[in-house]
């Protein structure tokens, strides 16, 4: 997908188009943002993760924020392949798999929801903020793969607005394959 919307329309507009593009015959939709860097053998590892947790939203990039890094490290040490994402103001949607039923619920929720459209401030209509609002509103569990199957590097070009291009903990995976 490309950004043909007016500047400032938010990343949700593009992300929503990706959700709408889900083929009729698909059981899941995997969205990789343009600045995601998949791990070696990503395709096989992503398929294995989806096969293991077919009913869950799976984020395959977990940012290196301290509390998320600690959670992922504890899971790795315990031999776990997934960690439950905390209910926060964002879901890191850099590389995300959605089951069809959740794509349909998210799109229907977005059509009827007024909060994200009326929200003002620094987040505006972001992809990660809108998905997080939906997950909180519907009490949907989101899992992150351990380790991350993709990284999110600041040196990779993206169509995202310049203020989202700064480096930092949100741009690097907590644990990367």
Model confidence pLDDT, tens digit, residues 7-65: 555 688 889 999 999 999 999 999 998 888 999 999 999 999 999 999 999 999 988 77
**The tokens of 83 are what?**
């960690």
Domain extent listing, the chain: 11-171
Please list, in sequence order, all residues whose beta carbon lies within 8 angstroms of the beta carbon of residue 52, skipping any fewer than 6 positions away: 81, 82
Classify domain 11-171 at the CATH topology level: Spore Coat Polysaccharide Biosynthesis Protein SpsA; Chain A (3.90.550)
Nearest one of 131, 79, 80 to 109, comparing CA atoms: 131
Please list, in sequence order, all residues whose beta carbon lies within 8 angstroms of the beta carbon of residue 39, skipping any fewer than 6 positions away: 45, 148, 149, 150, 151, 176, 177
- Rounded Cα–Cα distance for residues 151 and 175 (Å): 9
- Rounded Cα–Cα distance for residues 147 and 75 (Å): 9
Please list, in sequence order, all residues whose beta carbon lies within 8 angstroms of the beta carbon of residue 92, skipping any fewer than 6 positions away: 59, 61, 62, 63, 128, 144, 152, 170
SS3 state of residue 33: coil
What would the pLDDT profile of 95-127 be if each residue is shown by its tens digit? 999 999 999 999 999 888 655 444 444 345 789
pLDDT class for 172, splitting at 50, 70, 90? low
């Amino acid at each position: 997908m490309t950004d043909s919307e007016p500047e400032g329309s938010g990343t949700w507009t593009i992300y929503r188009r990706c959700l709408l593009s889900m083929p009729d015959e698909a059981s899941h939709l995997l969205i990789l943002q343009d600045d995601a860097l998949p791990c070696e053998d990503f395709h096989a590892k992503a398929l294995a993760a989806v096969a293991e947790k077919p009913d869950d939203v799976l984020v395959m990039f977990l940012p290196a924020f301290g509390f998320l890094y600690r959670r992922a490290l504890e899971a790795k040490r315990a031999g776990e392949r997934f960690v439950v994402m905390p209910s926060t103001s964002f879901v890191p949607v850099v590389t995300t798999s959605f089951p069809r039923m959740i794509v349909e619920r998210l799109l229907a929720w977005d059509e009827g929801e007024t909060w994200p459209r009326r929200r003002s401030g620094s987040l505006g209509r972001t992809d990660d903020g809108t998905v997080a609002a939906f997950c909180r509103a519907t009490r949907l569990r989101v899992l992150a793969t351990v380790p991350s199957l993709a990284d999110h590097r600041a040196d990779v070009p993206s169509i995202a607005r310049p203020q989202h291009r700064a480096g930092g903990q949100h741009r690097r995976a907590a644990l990367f394959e």
